[in-house]
C-alpha cells in the first residue's frame, strides 16, 4: 500500500533542502533510508528531486511513501472491531475486553491485530499492524493504530514526549482520597514475564493521577490519567496504594478485600464478579495531534456493557439498603 503526500512550500521553508524539510515533517532516519530504494519517491513541480534539492516558496512537492515493512503474517479474522475514526493515516478503534492486542502463543486468531487485518481486507487494504498505545487483554477502550510508517513515527514521538492524553475509568476496592498522584517506579517481577511490581531501586518512572467519581459500599469509581505508560501501570499502582482493581485476578482483586464478609454480601460480590469477569478498567478517552494535518483529535469510548451493569448493580444494592 502506498501513501502519496503533497506539500506546497511556504515562505518559512524557502531555501530549505528536501532532506531537512522531510525531517521537519516527521520523517525518521529509518523512513528516509528506506525511501532511497524508490527512484520515484520525490518530485518537485513534476520533476524528480533529490535529498539536496533546494525548495522555493510556492513549489509543489510530492512524496511517495511505499510500504517497506514485510507482511507480518497475521491471519485476517472477522471480529467486528468497533471503529471510532479512520482516514488514510490512522485508525482509532474501541477494543473489546478479553481480546489480546497481538498474536502470541495460544492466541493466533483472536487478537485485535487479526480483527484489524480482516477489516482492512474488506476495504482492499493491508498494512503492518502498528499499535501506538497498548491495552491489556482484559482492558477495553480506545486505541490508535498507524496505517503507514510516517504516521507511526510521528505518533511514537508524541507518545515518548507524553503528548498523547489517556483517561481511564476503573472500579477499585475501598475508598481512596478524593484525588491523588501516584509516583512509584515499576519493574518486572522476578519470577514472572508478565507480572509487574513496584521497584524503587531499579524500576522505570511511572506516574498516575486519579480522581474519585463515586463511592459504592467499599468500592469506588475512579477517573485515571496516565502521565507515563508502563505495562500494568494502573493495576500495579492501585494495588500499591491499597485499592486493587475490582476482579483483577493477577493482583488480588478477585477476592473480597474490604467490607463486610456476611454471606449475603459475599453472594452479592461474587455475583458482581460474574457480571464483570475481568479487571474493571476501561480506556475512556484518547487525545493526540493528527500526524498529517496537525489537528487536535479527541475520542471517547463508551463504557462497555459489563462495567455499566456492574455499576448499576452496585447502585441498586445501595439504594435497596437505604
Domains of the chain by range and CATH? 2-66 (3.10.290.10), 166-283+307-321 (3.30.2350.10)
In the block, cell 452496585 appears at 314
In three-state secondary structure terms, 24 is: helix
pLDDT tens string 28-80:
999 999 999 999 999 999 999 999 999 999 999 999 999 887 767 899 999 99
In sequence order, which residues have a C-beta less than 8 Å from that of residue 315 and are 6 or more positions away?
216
What are the backbone angles phi and psi of residue 97, rounded to the nearest 5°? Answer: -70, 165
Rounded CA separation 212/235 (Å): 16
CA dihedral 250, 256, 258, 261 (to 10 degrees): -160
Rounded CA separation 42/28 (Å): 16
In sequence order, which residues have a C-beta less than 8 Å from that of residue 103 and are 6 or more positions away?
74, 109, 111, 113, 114
Rounded CA separation 208/236 (Å): 10
pLDDT recorded at residue 300: 97
pLDDT band at 23; cut points 50, 70, 90: very high
- Catalytic residue annotation: 136
In the block, cell 482493581 appears at 245
Comparing CA positions, the residue from 95, 81, 98 lying closest to residue 278 is: 98
Predicted model pTM: 0.91
CB atoms within 10 A of CB 282: 25
Comparing CA positions, the residue from 141, 140, 138, 134 lying closest to residue 98 is: 138
Tell whether the model's pLDDT for residue 322 goes beyond 60. no
Within 36-81, residue ranges assigned H as helices are none
pLDDT tens string 145-196:
999 999 999 999 999 999 999 999 999 999 999 999 999 999 999 988 899 9
CB 240 within 8 A of CB 232: no
pLDDT recorded at residue 258: 60
Amino acid at each position: 500500500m502506498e501513501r502519496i503526500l503533497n506539500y506546497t512550500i511556504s515562505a518559512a521553508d524557502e531555501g530549505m533542502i528536501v532532506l531537512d524539510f522531510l525531517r521537519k515533517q516527521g520523517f525518521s532516519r529509518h523512513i528516509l533510508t528506506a525511501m532511497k530504494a524508490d527512484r520515484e519517491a520525490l518530485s518537485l513541480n513534476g520533476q524528480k528531486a533529490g535529498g539536496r534539492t533546494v525548495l522555493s516558496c510556492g513549489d509543489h512537492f510530492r512524496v511517495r511513501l511505499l510500504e517497506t515493512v514485510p507482511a507480518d503474517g497475521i491471519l485476517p479474522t472477522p471480529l467486528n472491531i468497533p471503529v471510532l475514526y479512520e482516514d488514510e493515516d490512522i485508525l482509532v478503534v474501541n477494543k473489546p475486553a478479553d481480546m489480546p492486542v497481538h498474536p502470541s502463543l495460544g492466541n493466533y486468531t483472536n487478537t485485535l491485530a487479526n480483527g484489524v487485518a480482516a477489516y482492512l481486507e474488506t476495504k482492499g487494504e493491508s498494512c503492518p499492524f502498528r499499535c501506538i498505545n497498548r491495552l491489556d487483554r482484559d482492558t477495553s477502550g480506545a486505541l490508535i493504530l498507524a496505517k503507514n510508517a510516517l504516521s507511526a513515527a510521528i505518533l511514537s514521538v508524541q507518545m515518548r514526549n507524553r503528548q498523547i492524553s489517556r483517561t481511564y475509568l476503573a472500579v477499585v476496592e475501598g475508598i481512596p482520597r478524593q484525588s491523588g498522584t501516584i509516583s512509584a517506579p515499576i519493574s518486572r517481577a522476578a519470577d514472572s514475564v508478565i507480572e509487574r511490581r513496584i521497584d524503587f531501586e531499579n524500576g522505570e518512572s511511572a506516574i498516575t493521577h486519579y480522581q474519585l467519581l463515586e463511592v459504592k459500599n467499599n468500592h469506588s469509581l475512579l477517573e485515571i490519567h496516565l502521565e507515563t505508560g508502563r505495562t500494568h501501570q494502573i493495576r500495579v499502582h492501585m494495588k500499591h496504594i491499597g485499592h486493587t482493581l475490582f476482579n483483577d485476578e493477577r493482583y488480588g482483586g478477585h477476592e473480597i478485600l474490604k467490607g463486610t464478609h456476611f454471606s449475603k454480601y459475599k453472594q452479592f460480590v461474587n455475583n458482581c464478579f460474574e457480571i464483570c469477569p475481568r479487571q474493571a478498567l476501561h480506556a475512556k478517552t484518547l487525545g493526540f495531534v493528527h500526524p498529517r494535518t496537525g489537528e487536535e483529535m479527541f475520542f471517547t469510548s463508551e463504557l462497555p456493557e459489563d462495567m455499566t451493569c456492574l455499576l448499576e448493580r452496585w447502585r441498586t444494592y445501595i439504594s435497596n439498603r437505604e
